[in-house]
Amino acid sequence: AQTGLPFELRQPQNKVVVKVGETLTLTCTTSGDGPPGAVKWLKGWGSGNETVYEQKSSLPRVTRVVGGSDTDFSIHIGDVRVEDAGTYYCVKFQKSLNGDTIFRHGEGTEVSLYETGLVPSMVAVAVVLCFLLLLFFVALCIYRRKQRGEADSQCLAGPAAMGSFSPIPLRCCAGTPGIPSEVLDAESSHLPSQQSSKLDNDIHYADLQPLPAAPRHSRSPGAACSEYASIRIAAK
């Protein structure tokens, strides 16, 4: 200790995280003039504490960072295990007639550990999530394809179910625009030669025909079936 200066003990680490199997370093330094007595490292506080290091002896896996130093009492704990997790205190003791008593101590360093086995488990969870997402997209594609197939089948079945088109009354214009014309049906309009009236050459009529089925790949989902109307005008 340095003579004439007040004694100070510094334990700067509040928390330390280390992987199982690696080496843990705990820092503690002193300065100034202190009473005779050892500096120790304790795990835990109170009646249940465990002495990790003292100048006379220490645990097998514990070594000094700077051997023989009177001011640097930092230690290494090698091959860290799960049971090494806890809070460690650097303590300066004072000798007395009744034994050693605590003179100064640090605020404590909380040591947390993690295992390498956590990484594979996280990878396994990620793989499972990706697999579930893949199943979802496959099911969605199957559903959309099924919906598209139902729409196509409805359009293709429409003309077959209808058979022949029923006659549709159409209003046609004969002669001068604005003059009321008679209503003819589609069947009679197919046979203009059977009409004996003078209006035969002037009759306008329409014939609805089914639109040929479009290729499956060109039809968008939900598209309705279509028809076209052909308009025929008798020559004058």
Distance in angstroms (rounded) separating the CA atoms of residues 29 and 6: 14
**Higher pLDDT pick, 186 / 16:** 16
Write down the domain spans for the chain.
8-114
Closest CA to 234 of 203, 188, 206, 198: 203
Average pLDDT (187-213) is 52
Q: What is the pLDDT of residue 96?
A: 86
What confidence tier does 210 reach under pLDDT thresholds 50, 70, 90? Answer: low
Interatomic CA distance for residues 19 and 81, integer angstroms: 9
- The pLDDT value recorded for residue 115 is 81
Q: Which residues of 36-63 are buried (b: 16+ CB within 10 A; e: fewer)?
A: ebebbbbbeeeeebeebbbeeebbeebe
The pLDDT > 70 percentage for the chain reads 59
| Rounded distance between C-alpha atoms, residue 35 and residue 106, angstroms | 17
**pLDDT, average across residues 3-23:** 92
| pLDDT attached to residue 226 | 54
Q: Cβ distance 93 to 102 under 8 Å?
A: yes
pLDDT score recorded for residue 175: 47
Q: Which of 33, 29, 24 is nearest to 1 (CA)?
A: 33
- For 82-138, the pLDDT digits (tens) are 999 999 999 999 998 888 899 999 999 999 998 876 556 677 788 888 889 888 989
CA pair distance 152, 156, nearest whole angstrom: 6
Mean pLDDT confidence for 1-25 = 88
- Predicted confidence at residue 22, as pLDDT, reads 95
Residue 183 binned pLDDT confidence (cut-offs 50, 70, 90): very low
Q: What is the CATH number of domain 8-114?
A: 2.60.40.10
Claim: this prediction has a pTM higher than 0.95: no
